[in-house]
Every structure is written in C-alpha cells, then in structure tokens.
Amino acid sequence: MDIKQLVSQMTLEEKCSLLSGADFWRTRPVERLGIPAFMVSDGPHGLRKQAEGGDHLGINDSIKAVCLPTASAAAASFDRDLCRQIGEAVGDACQHEKLAVNLGPAINIKRSPLCGRNFEYYSEDPYLAGELATAHTKGLQSRNVGVSVKHFAANSQENRRMSTSAEVDERTLREIYFPAFEKVVRDGKAWTVMCSYNRINGVYSSENPWLLKTVLRDEWGFDGYVVSDWGAVNDRVKGVSAGLDLEMPSSGGSNDRRVMEAVKAGTLDEKDVDACVENILRIHTRYLENAKPETVWDLDAQHELAGKLAAECMVLLKNEDRVLPLKETEKVAVIGKFAAVPRFQGGGSSHINCFRITSLMDELKDCSGVTYAQGYDTADEQPDETLIAEALRVAAEADKAVIVAGLPDSFESEGYDRTHLRMPLCQTELIRRVAEVNPNTIVVLYNGSPVEMPWLPLVKAVVEGYLGGQAVGTATANILYGKVNPCGRLPETLPVKLEDTPCFLSYEGEGDTGVYNEGIFVGYRYYDKKKTDVLFPFGYGLSYTKFEYSNLRLSSKEIRDTDILTVSVDVTNAGSVKGKEVVQLYVGDIESSVFRPVRELKEFGKIELEPGETKTVTFEIGKRAFAYWNTRLHDWHVETGDFRIEICSDSRTVLLSETVRVESTVQVPAHYTVNSIMADLIANPKAMEILRPIMQGGLFGSGENSGDSDAAGEAISDEMAKAMMMNMPLRSIASFSGGALTYDMIQKMVDQINNG
Ligand code: BGC
C-alpha cells in the first residue's frame, strides 16, 4: 500500500482523528478510505486483551491467557533464545486474537531495587537488558505483530511517575538508560516505541523532540511509530511536532481538535501531522498485510512452555553440603502458602488472567514422603503461631524442609514503589524457626525484586525463582529434584541492605525532581567500584555441576577502535551431571581520563555441556565494548590505552583475564581556554610545543626547589611546587610574568593550540 498516497487523500480532520485512540485499546477507522480500527494489547509476558471494560491498571478482566516468566525471571536466564521463545508465544497469541501490537517488552533499567515495577524489567545492566529485549522483539515480530518497547526513557520509579523529572546527565543517559532501547530499535527493528510518563531534564518524554526525533529516528533509524504511555500526553500539539505519533488512550477527540486548530492557525505544520499518520499507518499496514487470525494459540502447549522456561530462569544462590537436589527417597516437608498458591506475576497493566496455574504442591501432592504445611498467610504480615507450629511439626519429621517464600502482591506492584527490602515478618520468622528444627532447610523465593536475607546463614540452600509465570510450580519441582540443573544467573546485584544501594540517598528525588546523582554507577558498576559487600553479585548463580575455564585467547594484543576483537575461551563441565553455563565477558579500562566502572558486561553466552565435555565459546567485540560516551564529541569514544578482557563467573569473580591495547582512530578536538590548567596542557604534546617559549622563559622556574634556603625548602617542597604549577591556569602566567606576557598573547596561543 502506498501510505503517502493514502494520507494525501485524507482530510485534515481524518488525519487528526488517527492521532489518538478510539477507546482504550483501539485506533480509529477511516471507513471512507477502507482503513480499519487496529487493536493493541498489554503484555509482555502473556496477553492481556481486554475484550470489554478497558483500563491500564489491570483492574478489569481480560481474556484467559498464558502467563510466561516475567522479565525479572526471563532476564535471569541470560538466554537470548528463551526470550525469543517468549516473544514468539506472545506473538502467536496476538495473531490469533487479531492484535497489531503488544505493549512490551518493558526494558527500563533497575536503578533502585525499590522500583515497584522491577518485576517487569530485565536488569540493572543495559547490555543484558538490550540483548534479551531484542531477542523477545525478534521472536514476537517474527509473527508479524509489533512490539512497543517501553517506557522510553528514564522511567525508574512508580511514585510520581507521571510528573517527576528525571534529571540525568547526557553520558548517563547514553551509557545506562538508552542502550537497551537503542539495541531494540537498531537490531530488533522494533515496530513501535512507547514514551514514558516522566519528564527528562524538565521535558515530558511525550513532547521531547530530542528524544523522539534526534535520538530515536535520526541517530538510531527508528521507522515505526511512537505511542504515548496511557495518559502520558501533556501538550498534544507539542507532541505532534516532537514526534509523538499516537496518543493513547482516546482523548475523547479533544486533543485531535486542538491539533486541527493549531494547523489551521499556522502554529503547527501539517507536515508534522502527516508524518505521524504515515508512521502509524505504515506499521498497522504491516500487520494487516500479514494478519493470520487462523494462527493456532495452543494454551496447553504454552503452559508447558511456561514451565520449561521458568526452570531455566531459576538461580541457585546457595547449596551447602549439596543439600539440593532432593532425592525421591527423602522425606521432604514443603512449607509456605506460595507452595500451594504461588506468586508468579506482578500487579498492574501486565497482569495476566491465567487459564491454569500450577503450584509446587500440584506437582508434589502425589509424592510419598512429601508433607505440606502453610506456614504463613499472605494477608497478614504478623506470624501466626498456629501455622508456625504446624510447620515446625512437619519440618521436624522430615529429612529436609523446603520453605517457599517471597513477596506477596501487596509488597510490589506497578503504581507504587517499595520503601524497604524486607520480606514479611511472618515469613522471616518462619524460616528462622524451621531452620532451628531442621538443619537441612531450603528456601525458594518468589519475588519480583531483591529482598534482604537476614536468615541466609541459617539455611542450607536458596533458590531465587523470581516471578516465573503460571507454571512456576512445575519449574520449582524440576529444579528441586534435579530434573533440571539450575542455570539462571542474577541479572541484578542483591544488596545486603537498602542503605547500600547506589541511589539510596536520592531515589525518587524531592517533589517532582529526581536527580540521578549516582550517574553511570548503577547496579554492579556502583557496588564493585565502591567494593561494597553484597549478598550476591550481578551474574552470580550456582549449578549442580561445576565448570572449569581455560585457554583464554584474543585474536590480537593490539587493535584499533575500528577493529573487531575475537575472544575465545574453553569451558569444561567438570562435574557429573549435564548442565548449562553462562559465560560472561567483561571489559575494564585500565586507565582513563573519565570515571569508569571497574568492569562492564560486554558479551555473554549460554552453553550446555555433558559431563566431561569441553566447548569453545567465541565472542566478537567492537568499539562499543571499549567506549564511553564523550560529551564533547557527543559520540562514543575509546581512549587509547590498555583494557582488561575478563571472563567472569559474576561481576566480581574474575576467572581469566588478558590485556589488549586499543588505539583510538578519533582525535578529540582540543578545546582549551585561557582557564585551562597546565596539567591538562602538558598531556598534549602539540600544546606543549606552542607553550615551550613560556616554559623555557622560566616563568614557572624549573619546578624544582632551588634549595638555596632551608626556610624556603621547608615551606615549599618540590612536590608542592610541581603541584601548584600543574594546577595553574594559563591566564595566571600573565599575572606572574611581570608584564612580559599579556592576556592577549596567551589567548593567541590558546587559539593556535585549538586550531591545531
Ligand atoms: C503502563 C504501560 C501499559 C499501559 C497500558 C500504563 O499505565 O505504564 O506499561 O502498557 O498503561 O495498559
């Protein structure tokens, strides 16, 4: 279909009518031209299609569907293929249900573990989030349904999410908050992007031309449409010229009228309206031309898939005395309400109306040797002595006690943030008391974001299950009994306590202003730089087998920043059971003129190994793996120097390391002023050439204490004289030259240096 031609046939009124929804989920049709209404729906780990009674808060019912592992869990798989499968499953459901776009994946960076919506987001690490979200996107879009990657950008909190201004510097946006979006747009070719509610540096994302046009379209080549988060529009007219194509939900026509009036009054260019309409129609036509409502949406098959995938997401955090896996001959006490009624998804717009839910006890109820006690209630935080007594009784009689605990719904949800990282008292008390009567206590956690674990030393094993979707019980049973070897890795750092977290001092800001003071030091980038003790580091996870690494090789010891470096490493399964390993490659800049993290994840891969088997894993990394965002170039830049290439089992455990020297091919233009200090100039040989006459003129002396007078020697050491000289701005030379040098002469030299 020739979209431009179609748009040229529309009246202004028709065009404006397409700029916002008809209702909560549908766009308007233009019957005269045969343009139908299109429907979108929430996701992203399942389908939330509201046949009737629309709302964006998950209040009204939606059709029965399948809840796959949420992003919190999916990220822990460190498995692109798994995320692709989630995307495909949701894509099939969308095709079946005639939905053009599924509103996800949600890929905001986990700035603080307090964010109520972290269960929907992937990681504190932009590379991991970008890779997994891109896989999800490719999977979903392979079914000819669009994603809506959200929430662009810097939507790091739920409280005041619609009014707060995220005050973030350019480098931090580029290095932390943008890359996942960039990846999904550039490589995933996302059909649509959803702008965030919040403002960034004072400007609403829904009317930010730098965000929606310069960065998204001009730099990243986005060719889809931008949709507002539901109700994110502040000034629709500004939004149209800034590149916000579609407003959702319906504004009841009032904003469309405003846009029309602005065009008529000459304050808005009709071309901007045309561009929005073209973007929307281009994407919806892509869906329409490939619509396959006959697509089979096999709920049973997807339920099975949900269980299989959830097991691959679980992270074994502790396994003392190899208390896991359980043996079928052992007497096991299963304790906890979540073992019978699991928590496997979060509240709000992503809430799925599940056609079936499988709990751990559904899986184990027929196993002889397994007993069950509820242990706690989710409705009350206070310990219930009757429930605890029953739990202690079954625990004392068993070889091992498995407590299924975590966060109840009320503790984390879209719409508000947590204020602490604690689990309910009734659960922590239960764990403590059960561990007293059973030395083989195992804790399984169902939670969307990190919790403090004061009970950790008391228990033998911990499995972090995150929010694993509706078949989480099957997955848990398979992990506990070793039918699946745990292979998840933490996609976020688990801090010891809230006060240790990177933005503890400023999270959520003051009023409607939230300053991102921690800058690029988010997640492990912060903890590792500060050497702060953590509960478990980013990337951490155990297995029932063990892996050995050897033979790290680089294709070269010296490259230019335009080259690709090939990194290979051999991994061996040195244990006795089959298992999957996540191989993690980090890069660290050894010396840099800007603040940089100790190391950053730049590649990862998941491999499966039979006992005794060795595989070679090969990665290719390019400029971006070494670069930081240079705010003077407004571009990625690699400083010439040595970099560490590290193969790690988590962000702070280096297994193998090599060094590569990277030569920059980009000259950062000099930009000295008369206020530049000597230390900065000395680093530049060209500058020193121009300044040599001054230096030789002895204006600074030799930099060495002459030693003539003892008194002077005591007052001014050589180090001090040197330091003072280094910290002097050029202009001060004029003051010290006794008139030999003027300010103008210095300015001339500066110009000469700058002009090369
Ligand atoms: C959420 C989005 C969601 C939309 C529609 C908003 O409140 O932030 O993630 O897609 O509602 O339900």
103: enclosing H helix or E strand: strand 101-103
Tokens of 752: 């000469």
Element (H, E) at 532: none
Tell me how far CA of residue 219 lies from CA of 381, 700, 707, in angstroms.
50, 47, 59
What spacing in Å lies between the alpha carbon of 258 and ligand 1's midpoint?
24
Taking the centre of ligand 1 as the mean of its atom positions, its distance from the CA of residue 147, in whole angstroms, is: 13
Average pLDDT over residues 364-373: 96
- pLDDT more than 70, % of the chain: 97
Q: Does the pLDDT of residue 748 top 50, yes or no?
A: yes
Phi, psi for residue 444 in degrees, rounded to 5: -110, 130
**Protein residue whose Cα sits closest to atom 11 of ligand 1:** 56
Atom of ligand 1 nearest to the CA of 148: 10
250-275 pLDDT, tens digit per residue, is: 999 999 999 999 999 999 999 999 99
Sheet arrangement for strand 641-650: 558-560, 653-663, 641-650, 579-589, 600-609
List strand residue ranges (DSSP E) for 272-358, in order: 315-319, 332-335, 353-354
User: What residue type is 246 in one-letter code?
Assistant: L
pLDDT for residue 733: 82
Q: Which residues, other chains included, contact 247 with Cβ-Cβ below 8 Å and sequence gap of 6+?
A: 19, 20, 21, 227, 228, 233, 236, 239, 255
Report CA(248)–ligand 1 centroid distance (Å). 10
Distance from the CA of 235 to the center of ligand 1, in angstroms?
A: 19
Nearest to 69 by CA among 37, 45, 105, 39: 45
Band of residue 736 on the pLDDT scale cut at 50, 70, 90: confident
Give the atom of ligand 1 at the shortest distance from the alpha carbon of 106. 9
Average pLDDT of the segment spanning 544-561: 98
Q: Which residue has the higher pLDDT, 126 or 719?
A: 126
529/526 Cα distance (integer angstroms): 5
Token readout for 396 is 């004392």
Q: What is the pLDDT of residue 702?
A: 44
Helix, strand or coil, per DSSP, at residue 404: strand
Distance CA 4, CA 278 (A): 7
pLDDT at 382 over 60: yes
Q: What is the pLDDT of residues 261-318, one digit of tens each?
A: 999 999 999 999 999 999 999 999 999 999 999 999 999 999 999 999 999 999 999 9
Q: Is the pLDDT of residue 23 over 80?
A: yes
In this prediction the pTM is 0.96
Q: Which member of 229, 245, 272, 650 is catalytic? A: 229
pLDDT band at 1 (very low <50, low <70, confident <90, very high): confident
Instruction: Render pLDDT for 172-203 as a digit per residue (tens, 0 to 9).
Output: 999 999 999 999 999 999 999 999 999 999 99
**pLDDT top residue among 92 and 679:** 92
Q: Tell how far the Cα of 13 is from the centroid of ligand 1, in angstroms.
A: 28
Cα atoms found within 13 Å of the Cα of residue 705, Cβ hemisphere only: 17
Q: How many angstroms separate the alpha carbon of residue 95 from the centre of ligand 1? A: 21
Tokens of 394: 């079954």
Q: What's the mean pLDDT in 18-35? A: 97
Beta bridge partners of 147: 102
Nearest CA-CA partner of 425 in 396, 449, 455: 455
Ligand 1 atom closest to 42 (CA)? 10
Q: Which atom of ligand 1 is nearest to the CA of 197?
A: 8
Task: Note the pLDDT of residue 701.
Answer: 47
State pLDDT tens for residues 36-61: 999 999 999 999 999 878 888 878 88
Mutational test site, ligand 1, from 227, 230, 250, max ligand atoms within 8 Å of CB: 230
Range with lowest mean pLDDT among 78-92, 402-416, 701-715, 725-739: 701-715
CA of 273 to the centre of ligand 1 (A): 24
- pLDDT of 215 strictly over 50: yes
Q: How far apart are CA 102 and CA 133, in angstroms?
A: 13
The residue ranges of DSSP E strands in 168-246, in sequence order, are: 192-195, 199-200, 203-204, 225-228
Cα-to-centroid distance, 30 and ligand 1 (Å): 26
Ligand 1 atom nearest the C-alpha of 55 is: 12
Q: Classify residue 246 by its DSSP letter.
A: B
Residues with CB under 6 A from ligand 1: 42, 56, 103, 150, 229-230, 349
User: Which residue's C-alpha comes closest to atom 9 of ligand 1?
Assistant: 349
Q: What pLDDT score was predicted for residue 706?
A: 47
Report d(CA 178, CA 517) in Å as an integer. 17
Write the DSSP symbol of residue 274.
H
Task: Look at residue 524 and tell me whether its pLDDT is greater than 60.
Answer: yes
User: Which of ligand 1's atoms lies nearest the C-alpha of 104?
Assistant: 10
Confidence (pLDDT) at 740: 83
Q: Distances from the Cα of 264 to the Cαs of 12, 230, 261, 416, 709, in angstroms?
A: 9, 27, 5, 41, 83
Name every residue whose Cβ is closer than 8 Å to that of residue 545 and which is 6 or more positions away in sequence.
485, 573, 574, 575, 576, 577, 578, 579, 609, 611
Q: What is the mean pLDDT of residues 7-30?
A: 97
Strand arrangement, sheet containing 565-573? 547-554, 565-573, 614-621
- Average pLDDT in the 626-649 region? 97
Please tell me the predicted confidence (pLDDT) of residue 204.
Answer: 98
Q: Ligand 1 centre and the CA of 299: distance in Å?
A: 24
Mean pLDDT, rounded, for 132-142: 98
**Probe ligand 1: pick from 41, 56, 147, max atoms within 8 Å of CB?**
56
Question: By three-state DSSP, how is residue 605 classified?
Answer: strand
pLDDT in tens, 404-462: 999 999 999 999 999 999 999 999 999 999 999 999 999 999 999 999 999 999 999 99
Q: Which tokens sit at 139?
A: 């999977």
How high is the mean pLDDT of the chain?
95
CA of 338 to the centre of ligand 1 (A): 27
Question: What does the CA dihedral 238, 239, 243, 249 come to, rounded to 10 degrees?
Answer: -160
> What six digits make up the tokens of 224?
């889809």
Say which residue the tokens 């239960």 belong to. Answer: 430
Both tokens of 214, joined, read: 């310069």
Please give the number of the atom of ligand 1 that sits closest to the Cα of 161. 8
Q: What percent of the chain has pLDDT over 90?
A: 89
Whether residue 44 has a cis bond before it, omega within 30° of 0: yes
pLDDT recorded at residue 697: 59
Residue 212 to residue 218: CA distance in whole angstroms: 9
Euclidean distance between CA atoms 253 and 238, whole angstroms? 17
The predicted structure's pLDDT at residue 722: 83
pLDDT score, position 708: 52
| Spatial CA neighbour of 374 closest among 387, 361, 384 | 387
591 C-beta neighbours (distance < 10 Å), count = 10
Looking from the CA of residue 120, the nearest atom of ligand 1 is 9
CA distance 426 to 419: 18
**Are 521 and 534 a contacting pair, CB within 8 Å?**
no
Best substitution site from 48, 194, 229 to test ligand 1's pocket, by max atoms within 8 Å of Cβ?
229
pLDDT digits (tens, 9 = 90+) for 650-663: 999 999 999 999 99
Which residue's CA is the nearest one to ligand 1's atom 3?
Answer: 349
Q: Whose CA is nearest to atom 12 of ligand 1?
A: 56
For residue range 72-103, what is the model confidence (pLDDT) as tens digits?
A: 999 999 999 999 999 999 999 999 999 999 99
Region 319-342: mean pLDDT is 98
The answer to whether residue 92 is catalytic is no
Q: Per-residue confidence at 699, pLDDT binned at 50, 70, 90?
A: low
- What span, in angstroms and rounded, lies between the C-alpha atoms of 420 and 414? 16
pLDDT above 80 (res 513)? yes
